[in-house]
Amino acid sequence: MEAVDSIRQRIEKLRELINYHNYRYYVLDSPEISDAEYDELMRELIRLEKQYPQFITPDSPTQRVGAAPVEAFGVVEHPVPLLSLGNAFSFEELAAWHDRTKRLLAGQHFDLVCELKMDGLAVALTYVDGMLTTGATRGDGYRGEDITQNLRTVKSIPLSVPKDVPKRFEVRGEVYLSKEGFKRLNEERASEGQPLFANPRNAAAGSVRQLDPRITAKRPLDIYIYGLGWAEGPVPQTQWETLEYLKQLGFKMSPYNERVSDLQDAERYYQRQVQKREELDFEADGVVVKVNPLVLWERLGIVGREPRYAIAYKFPAIQATTKLKDIGVNVGRTGSLNPYAILEPVSVGGVIVKRAALHNEDDIRRKDIRIGDTVVVQRAGEVIPEIVEPVTSLRTGDEKEFEMPARCPVCGAEVIKPEGEAMHRCVNAACPAQLFELLKHFVSRGAMDIDGIGESSSAVLLKDGLVEDVADLYSLGEKKEQLLKLERLGEKSTVNLLTAINESKNRPLARVIFVLGIRHVGAETAELLADHFSSVDALSRATAEELMDIPTIGPKIAESVVDFFRQGANLKVIEKLRRAGVRLEAEAVKARELPLAGQEFVVTGKLEAFTRGEAEARIKELGGAVGSSVTKKTAYLVVGAEPGSKLEKAQALGTKTLSEDQFLHLLESGK
Ligand code: IVH
């Protein structure tokens, strides 16, 4: 009994330590221990909890990893609705709000709190007896979605808070992705051929609303808490004290909050933030000015859905005007015709913009954008520039309305617009543009990962007719003579290329499913499909109903899969892949037989040829394990540019290190 008691105590101690270091790292951004030391603590806790599952508590740091997927989110009623804010777009509008507030309070003096308005997604977190019980989206303000399991994966959200707090209370805040996190996520998606998120807010919203919390867990989400929704028990009397109080409870608070005494100071705060806005590591679209004493909030009341105690003072958009010279059309991998704006180059907030996204024809019509128009171009953060609107007062009458071409600009085949879809499509599955995109996708790192075929050689292979579909890659060996005659491909690189093609025949099933180019099936969905079907053949026989039995697969994906396997051209390519020896089944190889089995790798610094995720995926494919910190068990530390403290640790422990070249060699040769 006593031994078990001391184990429970050790588990509690570990939890306390890990929570503290989590807080230092994720909330205060100022860690006290190394990643390795942190991992050591975590591993010990995982091991003890595995042995003694009776001691697992819901707020244990091990319980953040992401629960099982759900079919749909439950509904959460908000006891106090989540309202929105009125906007001010100029100092005059802010002053008008301030005047009205003063009038309503009969001249009573009040101070103000200035905060940044984070551009993410509003959430409400409920704590009961100090434990996080519910996390919800704002929804329509009265009822939101229950996304508790997803929010539990956000490391800066405490799973529990100190005990001397109101029995029940709700905090509110904004979940967001940093600019850096957004960039990384999109880079990863681009390398996997997945559609990109338009901006950090959409990426955060998409991540938080994943039906599979394990996907959410992989997204670098963060949160800033900006207030209390409600509480059963005594709480501070002002907004400023509330912010301080929540900070003490361990919530992540914005470091940009300031208490100011009057309107002029609020304006100075705003001007300072406008200056600094590009330096922020997250997107903010304005500042929120709030009346500080909470007693006044009720007296001021609510108009419509906007409380009068606060106002959002919006930042000016980063915009410029320029001429729309023409509208071009690209053909994508699935045959979609993507219009884009060709602009007279213009500087928008210091960045030269020559092209802008135009999404689709409906969008162009809705905004009434015409070729030759002077247009307002807007750029927000890392986002592709957009056209906001035409300046119609500057029209000369020579502007031309855009017509989507009736024939594919690349192959001349018919263009259709399927019922209920926004995009026009080229009907020709063999369209060189589609084939080109498909080929690029097929050979890319996150897909079949064939080195030596880049954009230009893809184009050459297609142009010279050496490749008519992706499966033809596998018969290039028989065309070596022709291959050698191609521009810029010497004997050595031809041999390398053929070796790389040959090696790609054994990629995991998920990747094979991914590269088939089934509409709406990205890398994540392909993994799900590979988990449920043991081969491409089994998948090809699945009915829409069977597919929809898989959580997170809805009718759109299910139909697209079924439809894909109904098309003769696709079946032909699959047959060709099979005959070429590409493995279309799940791996039967035992992990033990893989070349890197039993060896743990740790990666530090920036690699040139891979993202961190790609490098780790390659290691795992070859049977290796990936650690996050150097320990005695680490077999190799892979060292990229600007390595961190891991290198020192490795040197201290005498761990073997590999340069990127040595690592590449190891991946290729397996030894
Ligand atoms: S206070 C009555 N403070 O802006 C609403 N909101 O338009 C009280 N937001 O849904 C909200 N940063 O998601 C407040 N510092 C901040 C904020 C903030 C971002 C968002 C919030 C809300 C929306 C209101």
CATH architecture of 87-314: 2-Layer Sandwich (3.30)
State the residue for tokens 């162009």. 364
The per-residue pLDDT for 632 is 87
Q: Is the CB of 312 inside a 6 Å radius of any atom of ligand 1?
A: yes
- In the CATH hierarchy, which top-level class contains the domain 319-401? mainly beta
Q: Is the CB of 83 inside a 6 Å radius of any atom of ligand 1?
A: yes
Q: Which tens digits make up the pLDDT trace of 242-284? A: 999 999 999 999 999 999 999 999 999 999 999 898 889 999 9
Distance CA 585, CA 593 (A): 18
State the residue for tokens 């309202």. 83
Q: Is the CB of 288 inside a 6 Å radius of any atom of ligand 1?
A: yes
Q: Is the CB of 117 inside a 6 Å radius of any atom of ligand 1?
A: yes
121 Cα: distance to centroid of ligand 1 (angstroms)? 9
Distance CA 15, CA 234 (A): 28
142 Cα: distance to centroid of ligand 1 (angstroms)? 15
Distance CA 529, CA 565 (A): 14
The per-residue pLDDT for 434 is 83
340 Cα: distance to centroid of ligand 1 (angstroms)? 34
In the predicted model, residues of the chain with pLDDT beneath 50 are: 382, 590-591
Among 277, 392, 257, 258, which Cα is nearest to 324's?
A: 392
DSSP string covering 126-195: EEETTEEEEEEE-TTSSEEEB-HHHHTT-TTS-SB--SSS-SEEEEEEEEEE-HHHHHHHHHHHHHTTPP
Closest ligand 1 atom to Cα of 116: 15
Hey, whose CA ends up nearest to atom 9 of ligand 1? 117
CATH match of 2-65 with 1.10.287.610: yes
**Helix (DSSP H) and strand (DSSP E) numbers for the chain:** 24, 26
Domain 509-592 is classified in which CATH homologous superfamily? 5' to 3' exonuclease, C-terminal subdomain (1.10.150.20)
Torsion of CA 430, 433, 439, 445, to 10 degrees: -150
Q: Is the CB of 313 inside a 6 Å radius of any atom of ligand 1?
A: no
Find how far residue 615's CA is from the centre of its chain: 19
Q: Is the CB of 115 inside a 6 Å radius of any atom of ligand 1?
A: yes
The per-residue pLDDT for 373 is 96
Among 153, 97, 641, 192, which Cα is nearest to 447's?
A: 192
The per-residue pLDDT for 487 is 61
Hey, whose CA ends up nearest to atom 16 of ligand 1? 117
Distance CA 304, CA 297 (A): 15
CATH topology of domain 432-506: DNA polymerase; domain 1 (1.10.150)
- Do 319-401 and 432-506 share a fold? no
Active-site pick, 13, 50, 102, 117? 117
Closest ligand 1 atom to Cα of 174: 13
83 Cα: distance to centroid of ligand 1 (angstroms)? 8
The per-residue pLDDT for 354 is 92
> What are the sequence ranges of the domains in the chain?
2-65, 87-314, 319-401, 432-506, 509-592, 594-669
Torsion of CA 186, 190, 194, 198, to 10 degrees: 40
- Ligand 1 pocket mutation, candidates 82, 84, 117, criterion most atoms within 8 A of CB: 117
Q: Which tens digits make up the pLDDT trace of 74-107? A: 999 999 999 999 999 999 999 999 999 999 999 8
Question: Is 632 one of the catalytic residues?
Answer: no
The per-residue pLDDT for 591 is 47
Bridge partner list, 330: 338
State the residue for tokens 């709000």. 97
Give the global pTM.
0.60
- In the CATH hierarchy, which top-level class contains the domain 594-669? alpha beta
